[in-house]
Structure 1
């Protein structure tokens, strides 16, 4: 060509198609996303077949009770367990509040055979004479209600336990009008063994 549009030199311009970088970026991002979805699905299948779901379920329960996020099992407060005295450590005063003679000595002799230490033996005072209903009344200091009197009560079923303002650790067995005899030795021994049996200590409180 000549004139104004004449081409000079020995190189000719090449006509290239414009690059479409946007499409390449889109394809790359799509490929990464697809690979991510495939990998996540594969991990889920592995968990299902290898028991991973069981571990997750176990983590959400405690003692067969479901736990909520941010909550903890509440410990059950345990009170101090007071040791019970043995019969030989308990001094028992035996008093007869009935009109039948000889009951105090007879009862005291039997308690002695069962290992109790015997103190005074005789008739009840005016405050209790002919006034004790039922099998009997067990009296002692406040500290003996759940200790010495508990042990003594295993020997006389149905006896009432009561605390008074006395000083010292001895206790009284006052025979009542409904008294026939002490609890049979085998039954008394079973009751005493159950009383001394250790109780299980609770650890955690379960609120299901």
Structure 2
């Protein structure tokens, strides 16, 4: 070629397209995200098959998000009226009171033992409505059940053998508790309110 400028040499410059670094970065980020999702899904499957979810639930309960009051140990079942033998003793001067009371207790399902006058220890000496007397073993069994029939009576224990209990009628006695009131008290005694309830706390 003529002229002022000449091209010398046997190599010519080549034109290259600019590298697109943005696409490369985006691809790397997408790959990392995909791997993270796969890893998370794998961990969830492992938890399902190994019981990890149960451990997490237990941990959540301990942390205070949801708590349940501990159940109290179940008490021994109370005896039914038909399993209790009651001696009805009259410590007042009113005749026939022991038999009337015994007949009513029998209608309500109690077994009746001795019916008559109270011993000299109690005769004319019981100022209240009555005394419920039995062995120490009956303090949380038979005596509370009998007390539902005469709510204002005093409860005492002695050193007797066996399981029979006494209802000693005092000078303040007018009648047993009404059957409706006695049945309600007996039902409440046999099925007391639960001591614990589910409580939820704010986990936020």
TM normalised by structure 1 equals 0.61
Q: Distance in 1 between matches of 2:122 and 2:179?
A: 27
Q: Does 1:124 find its partner at 2:118?
A: yes
Deviates more, 1:144-153 or 1:165-174: 144-153
Change (3 A) 1:154 1:69: closer
Aligned partner of 1:73 in structure 2 is 67
Report whether the alignment pairs 1:133 with 2:144.
Answer: no
Q: Work out the CA distance in 2 between the residues paired with 1:175 and 1:181.
A: 10
The CA deviation at 1:148 is 1.6
Query: Partner of 2:11 in structure 1?
Result: 13
2:100 maps to: 106
Structure 1 unaligned runs (5+)? Answer: 1-6, 40-61
Q: Deviations over 1:144-171 (max 9, x none)?
A: 2332222212222311223333221100
Provide the alpha-carbon RMSD of the alignment. 3.9
| Residue aligning to 1:206 | 199
Kindly indicate whether residue 86 of structure 2 is the aligned counterpart of residue 92 of structure 1. yes
Tell which deviates more after alignment, 184-193 or 110-119. Answer: 184-193
Match of 1:47 in 2: none
1:165-180 aligned within 5 A: 165-180=159-174
1:31 and 2:17 aligned: no
Q: Structure 2: which 5+ residue stretches go unaligned?
A: 1-6, 35-56
Residues paired across the two proteins, number: 169
Contact 1:97 1:129 in 2 (8 A): yes
Question: Is the contact made by 2:86 and 2:167 (CA closer than 8 Å) also made in structure 1?
Answer: yes
- C-alpha distance in structure 1 between counterparts of 2:62 and 2:106, whole Å: 61
Aligned partners of 1:96, 1:107: CA distance in 2, in Å?
9
CA distance in 1, matches of 2:136, 2:200: 36
Partner of 2:156 in structure 1? 162
